[in-house]
Chain A
Amino acid sequence: MFLMNDENKKRSYKAQKVIDRLGKKLNRQMVGSLAACVHCGMCTDSCHYVLANPGDPTYAPAYKADKIRKIFKRHYDWTGSVLPSWVGAKSVFTDEELEELKDTAFGKCTNCRRCTINCPMGVDFATFNRMTRGLLVHVGIMPEGVEYVSKEQWEIGNQMGVLKEQYLETLEWQEEELQGEVNNPKAKIPIDKMNANIVYTINPREIKHDPRSILDAAKIFYAAKENWTMPSEGWDMTNFGLFSGDDDLGGAVAGRVYEKVEELKGKKLVMSECGHGYRSTRCEGPNWAKKDIKFEAESSVITMLNYIKEGKIHVDKSKNDSSYTFHDSCNNARSCGLTEEPRELLNYVVGDFREMYPNRAENFCCTGGGGAMSMSEYRPRRLQSAIVKAKQLEATGTKYVVTSCHNCVDGLNDVIKHYNLDMKVTQLVNLVSNALVI
Chain B
Amino acid sequence: MSNLLHFSEHTLQEIALVFMATIYFLRVRWLLKWTAAKERQPATGMGDTNPKKGSRYSLANILMPWVMESTRTKPLMYLQFVLFHLGVVASIGLSFIIPYAPGLLKSTTVQGILQFCIGAAFVVGIMRIIRRVSNVYVRAISSPDDYFSLILLTAWFGFAFYSVPNDASQGEGILLTYFFVTAFFLMYVPFSKISHYLYYPMTRHYLGKTLGRRGVFPLRRSPAYGNK
Shortest Cβ distance from A45 into B: residue: B70
- Assign chain B's interface to a size class: 35 or more
Closest B residue to A57 using CB positions: B140
What sequence of 0s and 1s flags, for each residue 213-226 of chain B, a beta carbon within 8 Å of any chain A beta carbon? 01110011110110
Interface of B is mostly: helix
User: Please, which residues of chain B bring their CB within 8 A of the CB of A57?
Assistant: 136-137, 139-141
A290-B61 Cα distance, complex, nearest whole Å: 32
Decide yes or no whether B106 CB sits under 8 A from chain A. no
Number of interface residues of A (CB under 8 A): 72
Query: What separation, in Å, do the CA atoms of A116 and B207 have in the docked complex?
Result: 9
Q: Is the CB of A29 within 8 A of B37?
A: yes
Q: Is the CB of A63 within 8 A of B203?
A: no
**Chain B residue at smallest Cβ distance from A90:** B143
Contact of A282 (CB < 8 Å), options: B44, B146, B228? B44
Residues of B within 8 A of A397 (CB): none
Contacts of B143 in A (CB 8 A): 39, 85-88
How far, in whole Å, are A43 and B69 apart by their CA atoms in the complex?
A: 10
B68 at the interface (CB under 8 A from A): yes
Interface segment out of the listed A76-84, A412-420, A427-435: A76-84
Q: In whole angstroms, how far apart are the Cα atoms of A357 and B68 in the complex? A: 15
Residues in chain A near residue B136, CB distance under 8 A: 55, 57
Closest to A288 in B: B40
Q: Are B207 and A124 in contact (CB under 8 A)?
A: yes
The answer to the question of A423 belonging to the interface, with a C-beta cut-off of 8 Å to chain B, is no
> In the assembled complex, which residues on chain A have CB atoms less than 8 Å from the CB atom of B45?
336-338
Q: Are A39 and B221 in contact (CB under 8 A)?
A: no
Q: B-side interface residues toward A, CB under 8 Å?
A: 30-32, 34-42, 44-46, 49, 58, 61-62, 68-71, 73-74, 77, 81, 135-146, 148, 191-193, 196, 199-200, 202-204, 206-208, 210-211, 214-216, 219-222, 224-225, 228
Which chain A residues have a beta carbon within 8 Å of chain B's beta carbons?
2, 26-33, 35-36, 38-46, 50, 55, 57-58, 60, 62-63, 66, 78-79, 82-83, 85-88, 116-124, 282-287, 290-293, 296-297, 333-340, 355, 357-362
Q: A87-B193, A338-B45 are in contact. List 13 more A-B contacts (CB 8 A).
A: A27-B34, A27-B36, A29-B37, A32-B31, A32-B203, A36-B200, A40-B138, A46-B70, A88-B146, A118-B70, A120-B61, A122-B200, A360-B221
